[in-house]
Chain A
């Protein structure tokens, strides 16, 4: 276990006989000589696919001041989230767990195993009660008391509840932990629930995705480490920096959507030319995530499902991925229709300007004045025109 390597038991070495009894053994590496310890660290580096020189880094990290401990609880999951995390490059996972955090318990990355690992987890929790970061990976079964997923004889349900009690922050990584994911899909035989259903007394940060982009997780953790507070969250407790926008909004194929160019079936000319995948069932228009903006695996912007021609599956969105059928059309979510849409009745202008009103009033006033003058003059001439002979006389004049 990497975390164990970073925190050797400071107590003096026990007698070598006790190696046989792991149940009573309390310090996985505490009994080693310096040489053996470095050899172990180099071995860990090799396990992680690092150069042997990192063994020294690990050793240094092990003796550096205390870093925030992280307890990673795995429930009903596929390890995809961890696999995704292992493929991060900035920071790399080893720099994260060696320089920034102390990953005290993680079932996949544990160097130790069995009671040894369990023991270490309990001790870390005791020592750091109220300070450690808890990460939940996978959904938690609740049917029949949660017996469908047990670790070290304890149900994950109990483990999650107990671990959460002493956690400073809880992060649910992956769609299983965030919404229930695959285990919670119909018919949900284990009554799998997301972490936020089990841990109700403190906020659970959701990093949904199947798997989530590792940087969304790393950035959340590093934000917490740097500022000692969580990043801004949306109403579904997702970090806004990562899940603030629809995939549709940043999608590189969006212009094709706006121009009405849709791939009709896989492999047709439109599909081959990179047209919009909406009609193939792309869930981008109703899924919030930053996939098109940052891509996966640091190999370029197109390294995400839509980029390689597969419609978005909606894995990060509650009620879409694992719920809605693959090829059903998404209902386009947008808070307001774009302003570029003409209205039913298009208003042409903003109304009357004060200058125009003043001009109109001036003209009106002048007209009234002129009318009044004209009327008064007519009144003066009226008696002369009223008589019949006057008219005839005028005609004779002509």
Chain B
């Protein structure tokens, strides 16, 4: 083929532009027709789905949940590098979720941090753990179905024996939850499974030990009702906060209602989550994305992929085109030209 360097580069650029345009078009179309077109139908939450309600205003930062989680899941204490000069490993002090930390209490700080649960010049606690999305991205991206959603409880479960360690789930999660044990040559993906993985555990250890009821376990419907009840009451009114699990035998914690945000977090955002959050400061300050659609990104990515690859028609067409092109080119140039 008589093609010089200049013509080759021109061709490459044109192809690139066309490809980019196609991607942009598909992307734009996908956004535009969200709910139809490429997007697949979002999954429904199981009727008996369970989850947690974390109320940041009740949290006192005692980290009982962190300790109980480590104990229940048999995970090692963690001392990050900045703490190692004063902490020789006796005191578990993770700074973030990690391969050895499934839940962690973090703090939001602003200004002089004078008042709890205030956005300006205040502070607030935040518990991070798997949100157990109704339509989970990690389940969607897993190439070997090592991440599954329990059909009854809706808990996102990780099957270590199936996992190939590709870490797509780590990248896909909008909350940054699944983590990989990078420091272990035989590392695994770890994430909160609401203690369904722990034998003989009645319900989540973190909720079981929470002294104030800040972390509350229950059916998601009950948790949402409880959250709405708190939001409906006037600030200062007394409320009996259940402790442990909704419907359990624990004495409630009677305390006044604080000033909450307008709504709880996790009802619809990103397709809804089974772990809900209530707080007095804006949720994005606690690290929860607010600028997110009301559907799971998985509905879009799966929709596009499944449309493009449906019955392998489009790949077959592309392959056919390439074969035709190659065949025509090879016919135009006789073997004697190949010197």
Contacts and interface: CB of A to CB of B under 8 A. Distances in A.
Contact of A257 (B4, B62, B108, B285): B62
B113 A336 contact: yes
B61 interface: yes
A343 B108 contact: yes
Interface string B103-136: 0111111001110100000010110000000000
Interface in B114-167: 114, 116, 123, 125-126
Interface residues of B, number: 37
B212 interface: yes
A124 to B, nearest CB: 47
Contacts of A261: 64, 67
B66 A340 contact: no
Interface string B204-248: 000001011000000000000000000000000000000000000
Interface in A210-244: none
Nearest to A341: B107
A356 interface: no
Nearest to A340: B93
Contacts of B287: 344-345
A379 B64 CA distance: 70
Contacts of A342: 94-96, 104, 106-107
A79 B107 CA distance: 46
Contacts of A262: 64, 209, 211
B47 interface: no
A332 B109 CA distance: 16
Contacts of A345: 287
Contact of A260 (B62, B109, B125, B255): B62
B182 interface: no
Nearest to A388: B4
A341 B94 CA distance: 9
A111 interface: no
Given A329-B211, A344-B106, A344-B107, A335 B65 contact: no
A343 B107 contact: yes
B68 interface: yes
B211 A341 contact: no
Given A337-B123, A345-B287, A278 B108 contact: no
Contacts of A346: 95-96
B60 interface: yes
A336 B107 CA distance: 11
A391 B8 CA distance: 15
Contacts of B96: 342, 346
Nearest to A259: B67
B105 A341 contact: yes
A341 B113 CA distance: 13
Interface string B9-46: 00000000000000000000000000000000000000
Contacts of B62: 257-258, 260, 278
Given A337-B107, A337-B113, A341-B107, 16 more contacts: A257-B62, A258-B62, A259-B63, A260-B63, A260-B64, A260-B65, A262-B64, A262-B209, A278-B62, A329-B211, A331-B116, A331-B255, A332-B60, A340-B83, A340-B93, A343-B106
5 contacts: A260-B63, A260-B209, A331-B255, A341-B106, A342-B106
9 closest residue pairs by CB, A with B: A260-B64, A342-B95, A341-B107, A279-B211, A260-B67, A344-B287, A332-B60, A336-B113, A337-B107
